[in-house]
Amino acid sequence: MRAARHQHGELSFTAINDLHYPPALIAMALLPVILGLAWRKAIPAPLGELAATVALALLGNAFVCGALSNPHDRYGARMVWLAMFVAILALLRMTEPRQRQ
């Protein structure tokens, strides 16, 4: 079970973690902002609903993995990409030119 090279110190993920961790925290912090922008109708409501769903999923995952099992970073890392996805969608939606009606 402990035959993986990274568990024996042969592989280091420090550089990848240094690159991945700050954008993940920023993306998670932006979820309530995206929800607020959708509430103010600055971005479409479905994007705000997606942000709320992802935020609840991340909180639920943190609760289940923290309260019902031993907390490990890998459980959160499996879902944090969803926050980044929503943040990128919101950024793209806000920077696209407005269509005239």
pTM value is 0.77
Q: Give the pLDDT band of residue 52 (cuts 50, 70, 90).
A: very high
Q: What is the pLDDT of residue 101?
A: 45
| Residue ranges of domains in the chain | 16-95
For tokens 């700050």, name the residue: 22
Q: How far is CA 89 from CA 32, 38, 48, 50, in A?
A: 14, 13, 11, 10
The pLDDT of residue 95 is above 90: no
